[in-house]
Amino acid sequence: MTGTQKRGKYMKQFYSIHEGEYLVGLCINKEIKECELWIPAKDKGTDILVTNKDDYKKSVSLQVKYSKDHLPANPAVFKKFYRSCGFWNFDQTTIKKSMDKNSVDFWVIAIHSLFQKKTDCIIITPTDLCKRFSKFKKADKTYFWVTKDGKCFEARDIDKSQKKLLMEGKFNSIEPERDFTNYLNNWKPVKKELGLSNQK
């Protein structure tokens, strides 16, 4: 038995990065220049730790929730209006756990557009996410739809007439708490926590 075979027999991989974490990491490196990224050796809630490159005492912990793009499976009319449609399976209990344990500063809900080859990220604190969901969310499943002009909505359980109104630009047809546009690709709160709020 060779040395490599012996290591393969007795050593096990204890952690691996998944595609969502990788894509979010690329976004962070692009948006926040003066930072370093760390992947915890054990998964205890934090998926990515971001630190100020010049001051490691300033850090932000992130939990990544990733979905593949389900837009290709939707009707053609959707493809004219949306750039991606994501699907997640988490409820308020999951969010509250990260709040109760104070384990993460932000959730990053990410989806990579299959057609536009772009990763969109919703960056939000667990507290804000829970407050918003409490206003309308009834099911565990979550849909986030991103429009081609950069708007983002949670669309689980909205009816066909509301979907049509959304695509007509009548965004007041749904509860305001479903509008997550202000959180879409907005890394300013993370930069602020890192002491990098003046960074372009």
Give the rounded distance of the alpha carbon of 166 from its chain centre: 22
pLDDT at 180: 97
CB 78 within 8 A of CB 58: no
Q: Is residue 144 part of a domain?
A: yes
Q: Is residue 115 part of a domain?
A: yes
Total structural domains within the chain: 1
pLDDT at 99: 72
| The pLDDT of residue 14 is above 60 | no
pLDDT at 100: 67
Mean pLDDT of the region 92-106 = 76
Q: Is residue 1 part of a domain?
A: no
CA-wise closest residue to 147 among 80, 88, 87, 89: 80
Query: Is pLDDT larger for residue 15 or for residue 36?
Result: 36
Give the rounded distance of the alpha carbon of 197 from its chain centre: 21
| The pLDDT of residue 54 is above 90 | yes
d(CA 141, CA 139): 5
Mean pLDDT of the region 8-16 = 52
Mean pLDDT of the region 62-84 = 93
| Structure token pair of residue 111 | 């989806």
What separation, in Å, do the N-terminal and C-terminal C-alpha atoms of the chain show?
55
CB 194 within 8 A of CB 105: no
Full domain range(s) for residue 99: 15-193
Identify the CATH number of the domain in which residue 20 sits: 3.40.1350
Binning pLDDT at 50, 70 and 90, where does residue 68 land?
A: very high
Query: Is pLDDT larger for residue 9 or for residue 76?
Result: 76
Pairing of strands 141-147, 82-89: antiparallel
Q: Is residue 2 part of a domain?
A: no
Q: Is residue 3 part of a domain?
A: no
Q: Is residue 99 part of a domain?
A: yes
Amino acid at 145: W
Q: Is residue 6 part of a domain?
A: no
Q: Is residue 9 part of a domain?
A: no
pLDDT one-digit tens code per residue, 151-192:
999 999 899 899 888 888 888 888 999 999 999 999 999 999
Mean pLDDT of the region 141-150 = 93
